[in-house]
Amino acid sequence: MTWLDFITDALIEIGVMAPGDPLDPNVLDVSVRRLNYLIDEWAALERYAYNVSFTLYTITPNHQPTLIGPGLTSPDWATVNGATRPPRIEGANLVLNSSNPSTDLIINVRDDAWWLNNQVKSITSTIPTDLYYSPDFPNGSIYLWPIPTVAYQVRLEVWVVVNQVDPDTISTTDVVIPQGYSKAMLLTFAEDLTTPLGKAMPATLPGRAARARAAVQSNNISSPRIPSADYGTGLGSRGGGFNWQSGMPS
C-alpha cells in the first residue's frame, strides 16, 4: 500500500469519493497537508512513539552546544533518516571507546531548572557527567557538562516516530509503519479531513478511531513502578498510628 492508497482510503471513509473514482488534485493537496499535520502532532507525543533508538554520536572536543537535527554535519549531529530534532532526550551514556571492550557511563539528563542553577556552565573535563537538552527548532541544542575535551562517543536514547510524507513521492512510497498504526492513523486522519472538506462526521468513526488509537497507545505507555520500603520484608511501620474513633494518635 502506498501513501496515495492510504489517503484514498481515508477519503472513501468519509464519503468524499467512492472506490474507483478519480482523485481531485486540490483534494489531494489538502489531504497530504492534513496527513503531515497529524504525523507532526503524533511525533510530539510519547504515546505514539513506537520505539526508542540508541544512536551513537561522536563528541567534538570543546564544542558547545552541539546541535542535533536533520542534515547536520560535524561538529554537530544529524538525526537518523532525516528525522526532525528529538522532542526530548530520554537517556544518555558516555561511551569510553578508548578501551576494549568499550564502557558506557550514565550521563544524567537534566532539566531547565538545573541548567539555570548551574553557576559555572563553561567548566571543562575529559568526562561529562550531565546533559541539558534545549529542544530548539529546527535543530535542538545539547549542552554536555562539563564541556568535554576528549572525542568520546555519546549514546542517546530518543523516540522513534513515523516520518512525514513527501508529496512528490506519495504514489511510489509504501506505507511502512508498525502493527496497529495503519488503522489508528487512517481513522484519525479521516476524522481530521471532515472539517476542511466540508463533510459530516460519520456516526461510527469517532468510536472506531478511539479504539484503534487505544490499541497503539497501550503498547507504548507502561505503568510506572511504585516502590514500597516495607514490601516483602514482613516489617510494618515503626511510627504511631491514628485512632479514627477518637480522632487522636494511637
CA distance 95 to 152: 6
Tell me the per-residue pLDDT of 212-238, one tens digit each, with 9 for 90 and over.
999 998 877 666 666 666 555 555 555
Tell me the per-residue pLDDT of 133-166, one tens digit each, with 9 for 90 and over.
999 999 999 999 999 999 999 999 999 989 899 9
**CA-based nearest residue to 59, from 124, 134, 139, 135:** 124
pLDDT at residue 54 in the model:
95
Residue pair 17/23 in contact by the 8 Å Cβ criterion: yes
Q: What are the structural domain ranges in the chain?
A: 3-47+164-211, 51-160
Query: What is the pTM for the complete model shown?
Result: 0.79
Mean pLDDT of the chain: 90
- Is residue 85 scored above 70 in pLDDT? yes
